[in-house]
Amino acid sequence: MNDFHDFVVHLNSYTFSKRFILPVAVERTDESIVVFFKYSGEKHIIKSSGELVSLSYEERKKLVESILRIAKFVLLGNIPPFPAISLFDIFMYAGEFFFRPPVIFTSEFYKQLMDSSKMIKSSKGFICVFVDEEYIKNGTYDKNSTMRILGEMIELFDENGEKASIVSKLKSCSVTVDDLEKDMLSDGTLYKIISEITSAKKNYTVVQIDTNGYYRLFKDYIARIDYRFTEKNEAIFYIGDDFTNVLRQLLLKKRDELSQEEFSGLVKCLYSVCKFDTVVGELINIFKRFGKIILIVKDVDEPHYLVRRFLEILKNSEIKTVVLTYKSKQPDKTFSIEVPKKNLSDKDFEVKFSRMAEDLFLVRVLGKEFDRQDLMIFSSVTGKDGESMLRNLLKEQIVRSDDGEYIVDYDFTFQMEDNAQLKLIHEMMAKEYSRHISPYNQYALKAASHYMLAGRELSAAVTYLKFVKVGLEKYTFSPSFLSDVLYRAYEILKKSSKDESYAFHKLRLELQNRAGIGFEFKDIQLPEKRIFTYLKALELFIEERYLDCISYTDNILRSFELPKYKSLQLSFIRERAYLSYYDKLSNAGPDLEEIQSMKIWNEKWAELKAEWLWLIGNALVYTNRKKATVYLNQALEIANQYNLKHLLVSIYNSFGMVYDGYLLSIMYFKEALRIAGEIGYTRRSLTPRLSLARELLYFGKFKELFTEFSLLENSLKDYLSYSDLSFLYRLHGMVYSYLHRYEEGLKYFKKAFEIESEKNLPHHSLRGLILHEMLCGNRENAKELIQKYYDNPAIHTRAFEYFTAMILAKDDKEFFRAWNDYITSNYTLLREEILYLFTEQIFKVDKERLADELDRWDSFYTSEMTKLSLLYILLAKQKYYELSRNEMKHDLVKLRIARIVFDLGIGKDFNQSLKDSLFIDFRKDTVENEIIDTLEILKSIDQKIGLDEFLRIFSNILINLFKPQHVFVLVRDKKTNLSSSIGIAPFDEKKSTVRFDPLEVYIKDNVDKDSEYLIFFSSNYFMLSEKDKKDVWDKIILLDELFASQVRGIIYRERATRDVLTGLYNRWRFLEILQEYMKEPAVSQNEKEISVFIADIDNFKKINDTYGHLTGDIVLKNIAAILKDSIEEKGTVARYGGEEFVGAMKVDKARCVEICESIRKVIEKISYDIFGFQVTISFGVASSSEKHNITELIGLADKRLYIAKETGKNRVCFS
């Protein structure tokens, strides 16, 4: 196998020169190896009879030049040496010469071959196979071997001895690179380029070598550069425009630095199918070892889509990368090489034109740039000998060959008459190209170009539009490129008075909506026609005119009876605008049940359903994370199934927000960025990048954060919308708020506020400004801002209404009310800020709960490793212990604060308050073994911890230990119907397994016969060394054991408090929870109500008697599930006994009655569909405002339940 692998690597090692035809496939059988090559009209220079084809003087001269260029590349180490070469491996096309990679056989094979004069000598007496004599003697070869046989080959074709001097040097192995260089290079420029590469400071640098349209000259400079860096053993790889070249070059140049497993895995990709996503992970891990890599790419703006994906991955990695390129619109540095142009006099031009008129027909049809594939299509369409025509044009130097492409430097367009025959040929060419169109080539553009020349402008426009449509669907071309093509279509449509084309405007707005590209279309107006209503709504949304968008869609939806799909489309745009402006969904959208039951008829319906599910999930990320996860997972499944990658970016960004404050958030934001980079959607990457920046702030990763700021403000600034720019300024301001740098923060918040005011955007910066004033100790300024902008909706959302109420509170009673409303709400936003800013006031009115909150969030942020958030909790704790006069704990907390300040590198900002603690050298206390930290977290977990909280902590541990790209943990218990999960579930069920290539861990096991758990995580990292594998195994075994032990304790505790049949809490646990509710200060002081209900299934005995007890159990389980889902986080529900249920909610009685009435109606409506017979339920409701004693409160609810039963059942009684 190793010999076969070496054979495959050698065949693929000649990628640097386009003169070599590389294999497209290699097949191995027991007896032979078959190599497949793709030819584009090239022919052998040896006939089947063994005779050499007739070559003209010019052709022999070109062949010699080609051989000398190969000799140069071998001498520089750009391609590997070889000890033998055959004339059977040389091909000719239009007087140009191409080569198959020479196959290297054993020296013994060549000895036997030498005895066969028929094989070595042709019937004409010349040598067909050239073998180095030294190789035959000792079986070894090097560059000198290649120089000798190439010298002998040149002797064969250099009939006049013009290259005798070079041949002599080649055969004597004294030849130098300068001897072989056709065009003299500038040593000074070469030195500057090498210096620029060596001194590159940025993580990702693009250096352009502009050779004025001569790629061959670019390759000459690159060959020297490649040699210099390869000699220093630095990682430099020629990609050109073929991602596979990364593998070819790596295997050629870094073979000795690869493990056997890495080598074998990468070689397989050269002769069998490999997925990009699989191999790229392994490449990244290998590249990390090199420290710095240099890549040579032909075009960084519009490369092949796999090359683009690879470059984006590197751009977002920690690998220092320098890209040398021939084409780039925005390089970091450009080196321009002067190329002398050949000028023809008018007279010479006329002579040449008239002499070559027939052959110039080729240029008239194919244009000024074409390749051999174009020539093949030309020949098949016209029936003409395109190869001969090209040969003549090359001979006359009208066309030049430039690394596999043919370029016309002269402008013959003014000489080209317009005639019907030529137009017909262009039309035929267009149709022929159309037959070969795929999402992965640009034949559609060539077809469109020929349609234009054929006078079929509208056919060209349609072809352009189809290209853009497919490009959007398959993500194979960058949005900027698609935008350019779309603009070509627009110019044609405008010229033809067809600029009201619905297809064009739809693609224009979809491109802008998906990718944020299309600035050249900003002055184009939509026609005022009803057919454009959806597009008008989309345009208003894209322009961030959210209120106009809402008003417009409301009017359309009211005024017209639209088909279902159109109605849902418009409603989606409306709700998205509403969410963008008001930070919540309206009540006017479709029913959630309608969205979830929406049928997927085709890809359009799939995309619409996935968008709706994402939008609903996105709206819930801060208020109901559990529900948000459900909707987002449903959207994710559809998006993956239908390859909706642009939507995947949004979904992963929303998952990041769901896990805000968890390490999972960073993982998901980076996944969103990875996909955005992969499909080239730079604009769409901004939202997750800004979200990532915010998360980095909370985790106190200031170095990484400022790198993101730099990227956003420099490389990505042109892509930022006004709302993005405002968000960026707010993030800047937040950094300085937390560091208490008042003037710097104020400057950024004011910038954000100005943009929002000028562009009529929601004033999100108001929240930042108020918080900034408070954190910097300016409470009066904060009050003035609140009073001035009190009616602005921005300060009455996301828990900020509680924050402003605390700031404005006139006395302790008013403050307590605001504090209590906040602490009993579903919000956790602003937790550390509120505890820090109002420590003294909370201490006065609610000391006990303050202590509980501080301990809770200390534990939370410690396990989450969100160091900046933890810092502010500890600062609040320090104040608490100061107020409590607990000096020992005060000093211990102060020491922890000092440690965090040191870790975050912000000592100068907190120097004054911690100066007596900062003398400690905390570096001595650094724990070097990460597993020890893990054990400490797991051992210190509170025994009363809930399952959700434990899974959150455990996911952090997995991320901290293994740095995975995906994590999912699930625990399920049948006895209690308890189920909890975190992360995104893998799409395929499998047995427990651990893979190392790349790392993937799937552990599925049981706690006991009624409960199971699943731990899944994966990354692109390849664990190849035995030590790495052992370390991973040790961690997995330990974590699995600790996880199972902890989960067992939680489940057994839950079982003791839950009803076995329904999974609800039992009566005793319910009474404990209700006691906790009633003890809350706000409840005991009558400032807040707790409502209780008792529910009883009507005629349940009759159900059991009629349908049996098994059916009765099914009814109980389903009713329990409905009760639990309806109450959610508003309170708790339990089975009270028999067919009775009891619940307590932190809402007033009126709201409790509404919820109970809603549950009653749902059961009445859906029971027949579930059970096959009607089931109803009755409720009795009471409130803590009526009875303070728990027994009396439940008794009152029970009494009202009795009334409900006596007055007809199936009702809610509350008085």
Grouping H, G, I as helix, E, B as strand and the rest as coil, residue 263 is helix
Chain centroid, CA 407 distance in Å: 38
* Alpha carbon distance 102, 116 (integer Å): 20
Find out whether 583 and 546 touch, Cβ atoms under 8 Å. Answer: no
**Structural contact between residues 303 and 311, judged by C-beta atoms closer than 8 angstroms:** yes
Q: What is the rounded distance in angstroms from the CA atom of residue 689 to the CA atom of residue 704? A: 12
Residue 469 near residue 604, CB atoms below 8 Å = no
- Distance of CA 725 to CAs 197, 567, 584, Å? 33, 33, 22
Q: What are phi and psi of 484, to 5 degrees?
A: -60, -45
Do residues 613 and 631 lie in contact, with contact meaning Cβ atoms separated by under 8 Å? yes
- Which residue(s) pair with 205 in the sheet? 322
Distance CA 261, CA 259 (A): 5
Could you tell me which of 943, 949, 956 has the C-alpha nearest to residue 1046? Answer: 943
Catalytic residue among 457, 1139, 1164, 1206: 1139
Pairing of the two strands 966-973 and 405-408:
unpaired
- Yes or no: say if 486 and 464 are a contact pair by the CB < 8 Å rule: yes
How far the first Cα of the chain sits from its last, in Å, is 86
How far apart are alpha carbons 848 and 1135 in whole angstroms? 32
The 8-class DSSP code of residue 165 comes to H
- State residue 1171 phi and psi, 5-degree precision: -105, -20
Active site residue 1139: yes
Longest alpha-carbon distance in the chain:
120
Cα separation, 727 vs 689, in Å, equals: 11
Integer Cα distance of 666 and 688 in angstroms: 9
Contacts of 606 (CB under 8 A, 6+ apart): 600, 638, 641, 642, 644
What does each C-alpha distance from 491 to 235, 278, 339, 447, 520 come to in angstroms?
46, 42, 34, 17, 12
d(CA 1120, CA 1095): 11
The contacts of residue 1054 (CB under 8 Å, 6+ apart) are 947, 973, 976, 978
Structural contact between residues 763 and 794, judged by C-beta atoms closer than 8 angstroms: yes
Tell me if 900 sits within 8 A of 877, measured CB to CB: no
What is the identity of the amino acid at 712? L
Distance CA 735, CA 737 (A): 5
1134: nearest Cα among 1197, 1071, 1056, 1204 = 1071
Q: What is the Cα–Cα distance from 81 to 123, expressed in whole angstroms?
A: 29
How far is residue 1053's CA from residue 340's CA, in Å, rounded to a whole number?
85
Please give the Cα distance from 398 to 409 (Å, whole number): 7
Count Cα atoms within 13 angstroms, Cβ side, for 824.
Answer: 23
CA distance 52 to 72: 26
861 within 8 A of 869, measured Cβ to Cβ:
yes
Segment (H or E) for 1017: strand 1011-1018
Q: Which tokens belong to 678?
A: 């992969």
Structural tokens at position 556: 């359309």
Catalytic amino acids? 1139
